[in-house]
Chain A
Amino acid sequence: MPDDILYSIRNLTVEYKTRGGAVRAVDNVSLDIRRGEILGLVGESGCGKSTLGKALMRLHDGPASIPGGELWFDGRNLMDLPLREMTDIRGAEIGMVFQDPMTSLNPVQRILDHLTETIHTHEPETSDKAARARAEELAERLGIRRERLKEYPHQMSGGMRQRVMISLALALRTKLVIADEPTTSLDVIVEAKFLDLLKELQKEFGLTILLITHNIGVVAEAADRVAVMYAAKMAEVGTAQDVFIDPKHPYTQGLLKSVPNIKLDGGDLYKMGGQPPSLLHPPSGCRFHPRCPFVMDVCRNEEPAFEPVAGDHLASCWIYQTPVANKVIGEQEVHNG
């Protein structure tokens, strides 16, 4: 595995058993996360991005399972590890920041105890004093005054709680931080501060961050590279530059067109037709085909491969994979708003 890739996800599938049958929330997805980058993972609600994030730590809710795939983290396939070693990695090498910091913190536990407990779990020989000192230092770095550490979660503001969540994720020598919709519960100003903080941490600690969100604005603001998911599959991956300026997958194109222009001078709002598909009985062939303005016969019958279109810019779309492709692109090119 090349050295600059921290986490290589290969052919990952996550399946849920529901009353209606087995559902794949993540279906044969491959993705590389490079060291030191902020990778934004976008998609609609229900497209599987949160499940993917959790799966990276092999953390899943009861009825879910991982029937297939490899998770190459820092040279090891996490799928091969026994659960005991997996819990060692969680919180120590890979950390997670959750969407709602109010409910993600134990209401009857002081903030300080949250931190020292995490430290003790992974480094049990640490003395109480040393753990406390480390916790205080970490908190200060993240802008939390040390006197506030003995408070309970409900006594803090939303933004502060989110900082606590980050500090928990960084309590040990974390290499990768998975942030699952971290700004959804924050207002715009706090959100901006939060993203700045993330970028600072990336620079200062050399952190790698997987930023999962449905908000394209957040991704545009903070991400180095962008991955787009649709209906449990990977649609497009590339640098932020590439994806925003020259989106290849029709879904990405539609997504970008739907973002309202703040100047409101573009006339009517663009709306993508159709609805997100049921994952219980997904559409045949390319999952986006019922809503795609460029749909062809092959799209209805066969699934396109997730392949490079131009250099490091990958997409799964038949437009770029058949001889017909060039003709189509020539005829119908779409501009961004």
Chain B
Amino acid sequence: MSPIAIIALIIGVPSILLLAYVFARGSAGLRRYILTRIVLTLPMIFILATMVFFILRILPGDPVTSALGPKGTPEMIAHIRATLGLNDPLIVQYGRFLWNMVTLHFGNSLVGGHRPIIDEMSERFPATLELIIPASILALLIGIYGGALAASKRKKALDYSLRIYSVVIYSLPIFWFGLLLQLFFGVRLGWLPISGRIDSIIGTSLRTITNIYSLDALLTGNWPAFFSVLQHLVLPTITLGLILSGVFLRLTRINVIETMQADYIGAGRARGIRERILIYRHALKNAMIPVITLIGLQVAILLAGAVLTETVFSWPGMGSYLVERISARDYTAVQSVITVFAMLVALISLAVDVIYSLVDPRVRY
């Protein structure tokens, strides 16, 4: 089974089960809310895909010509244009585009070998997942805990240092940060590798199932591979995770401070509840509600950061694929990648909305 299918199952099946459970046990209000979110997600994907479609169609000049370059004879160009259906009226092309998107028919690469794009993506997509999941976890841990900490020690040295940290981290260009880490830990100290996902020699011994190398290594009991992947993961994860943590810290801090002004916190204090519990349990729990939605929006930053991080560390994921394909003028591939990104964004938004509805009892009941 293709790796994409496996991943889809791993993520999809529990999600659907969870959704079904929530649907069955939840109140009418909750059901309505979730349905609305699902229904709204479709237009989002639709709009984004449409934008992608039209953006790439207003190219000055002909994509096929520039893709083939000087090697392209007029017959080749005409032939390819016909196969791609580029001579049909725009509406027809659009319809075909939508249909292909839904059925995940991405076509073949225009440049360099005409490889089916979906094959390429089934290697690249898991690579990106392998990067963004640990990075997000790191960012959340630092950001949320740091934000609550800063809020609790407001206007003292720790608060200001954490705020400065989050502002500085935010201002750091992520690609520069990655390069500095490479320079320091890779070149100067030589502790960690600076490119790739796994040592090339060890890599040949790894049998891939999901294409998430660390997972595959665990599943096949291949310890040298596992450690090699972890080694390669360290720098990119720190790069992406730290940069993201700045945003999360700032959001959490502001929301916790605001929540601390609430009356029920004062009421809790009047009942003798300790300050630490007020902050880390009561205020944080309440503050998390708006923060969840806001964090969901940061997916955009996560993906943009992934593109740059993958480029810096030569990490063969969707981000570096996009950049490569653009330089090669492979517009079919570019179109496919951006569409996948759009779907990813929409799905994550949906997931965040559902989680939000589960956490806030005002929506649940």
Classify A-B as touching or not with yes or no (CB < 8 A): yes
Cα A91 to Cα B266 with chains together (Å): 12
Spot the interface stretch: A26-34, A103-111, A133-141. A103-111
Contact of B272 among A92, A104, A155 (CB under 8 A): A92
A89-B272, A91-B272, A155-B365 given; A108·B285 CB < 8 A: yes
Chain A 140-155 interface mask (CB, 8 Å, partner B; 1/0):
0000000000011011
Residue in B272, B360, B365 whose beta carbon sits within 8 Å of that of A121 in the complex: B272
Contact of A108 among B269, B273, B274, B361 (CB under 8 A): B361
Please report which residues of chain A, range 92-108, place their CB below 8 angstroms from some CB of chain B when the two chains form the complex.
92, 95-96, 98, 100, 103-108
Q: Report yes or no: A96 in contact with B267, Cβ–Cβ below 8 A.
A: yes
| A105 contact set on B, CB distance < 8 A | 264, 267
Q: What is the CB-to-nearest-CB distance from B260 to chain A, in angstroms, rounded to a whole number?
A: 10
Query: Chain B residue with minimal CB distance to A104?
Result: B267
Which residues of chain B have C-beta atoms less than 8 A from A88's C-beta? 272
**Are B361 and A95 in contact, CB atoms less than 8 angstroms apart?**
no
Among B270, B282, B361, which residue has its beta carbon within 8 angstroms of that of A91? B270
**CB of B286 within 8 A of chain A?**
yes
Q: Is B273 touching A118 in the complex (CB atoms < 8 A)?
A: yes
What's the dominant secondary structure at chain B's contact region?
A: helix
Inter-chain CA distance A92–B289, complex, in Å, is 31
Answer yes or no: B75 CB below 8 A from chain A CBs: no
- Taking a contact as CB atoms under 8 Å apart, the answer to whether B264 and A121 are in contact is no
Interface mask (B283-305 → A, CB under 8 Å = 1, otherwise 0): 00110010000000000000000
A107-B362 CB under 8 A given contacts A59-B266, A96-B267, A98-B267:
yes
A152/B264 in contact, CB under 8 A: no
Residue of chain A at shortest CB distance from B288: A108
Task: Indicate if the CB atoms of A121 and B273 lie closer than 8 Å.
Answer: yes
User: Which residues of the other chain, A, contact B270 by a CB distance below 8 angstroms?
Assistant: 57, 59, 90-91, 95-96, 98
* Cα–Cα, bound, A122→B271 (Å): 9
* Given A108-B360, A109-B282, A91 and B271 contact (CB-CB distance below 8 Å): yes
Q: How far is the CB of A114 from chain B (nearest CB, A)?
A: 9
Chain A, residue nearest B264 (CB): A106
Task: State whether the Cβ of A117 lies closer than 8 Å to any Cβ in chain B.
Answer: yes
> How many A residues touch B, CB cutoff 8 Å?
31
Say yes or no: is B268 at the interface (Cβ < 8 Å to chain A). Answer: yes
Bitwise interface map of B from 250 to 269 toward A, beta carbon under 8 Å scored 1, else 0: 00000000000011101111
CB contacts (< 8 Å) of A107 on chain B: these are 264, 286, 361-362
Tell me which residues from 264 to 302 in chain A have a Cβ below 8 Å from any Cβ of chain B.
none
Report the count of interface residues on B (CB-CB < 8 A).
Answer: 21
Which residues of chain A are within 8 angstroms of B289 by Cβ–Cβ distance? 108
Residues of B within 8 A of A154 (CB): 361-362, 365
A50-98 CB contacts (< 8 Å) to partner B: 57, 59, 87-92, 95-96, 98
Contact across chains for A104 and B263 when beta carbons are under 8 A apart: yes
A228 close to chain B: CB less than 8 A: no
* Cα-based distance from A117 to B263 in the complex (angstroms): 17
- Chain A residues positioned under 8 Å from B271 (CB to CB): 90-91, 95-96, 118, 121, 168-169, 171
Residue of B nearest to A88 (CB): B272
The A159-204 residues at the B interface (CB cut-off 8 A) are 165, 168-169, 171
Instruction: Decide if A106 touches B268 in the complex (CB within 8 Å).
Output: yes
Collect the chain A residues with CB atoms within 8 Å of residue B274's CB. Answer: 87, 121
Q: Could you tell me the distance in whole angstroms from the C-beta of A162 to the nearest C-beta in chain B? A: 12
In the complex, chain B residues whose CB is within 8 Å of the CB of A109:
282
Kindly state the separation between the CA atoms of A154 and B361 in the bound complex, as whole angstroms.
9
Residues on B with beta carbons closer than 8 Å to the beta carbon of A100: 263
Chain A residues within 8 Å of B359, by CB? 108
Whole-angstrom CA separation of A286 from B270 in the bound complex: 34
- Beta-carbon contacts under 8 Å, B224-277 to A: 262-264, 266-274
* Distance (whole angstroms) from the CB of A170 to the closest CB of chain B: 11
Q: How far is the CA of A59 from the CA of B267 in the complex (A)?
A: 10
If A91-B271, A118-B273 touch, whether A103 touches B264 (CB-CB below 8 Å) is: yes
Contact of B262 among A103, A118, A152, A171 (CB under 8 A): A103
* Residue pair B365, A152 in contact (C-beta under 8 Å): yes
A121 to B272, CA, bound (A): 7
Point out the residues of chain A lying under 8 angstroms from B269, CB to CB.
Answer: 59, 90
- Chain B residues with CB below 8 A from A89, complex form: 272
- Return chain B residues, CB-CB under 8 Å to A104: 263-264, 266-267
Let me know if B266 and A108 touch, CB within 8 A: no
Cβ < 8 Å to A, chain B residues 27-69: none
Chain A residues with Cβ under 8 A from B282's Cβ? 106, 109
Which 3 pairs from chain A and chain B are nearest by CB?
A91-B271, A91-B272, A90-B272
9 A-B residue pairs with Cβ-Cβ distance under 8 Å, sorted by A, are A59-B269, A90-B271, A104-B264, A107-B264, A118-B272, A121-B271, A152-B361, A155-B365, A171-B271
Known: A90-B272, A98-B267, A169-B271. 10 other contacts (CB 8 A): A59-B269, A87-B274, A88-B272, A100-B263, A104-B267, A107-B286, A107-B362, A117-B273, A118-B271, A171-B271
- A interface vs B, CB < 8 Å? 57, 59, 87-92, 95-96, 98, 100, 103-109, 117-118, 121-122, 151-152, 154-155, 165, 168-169, 171
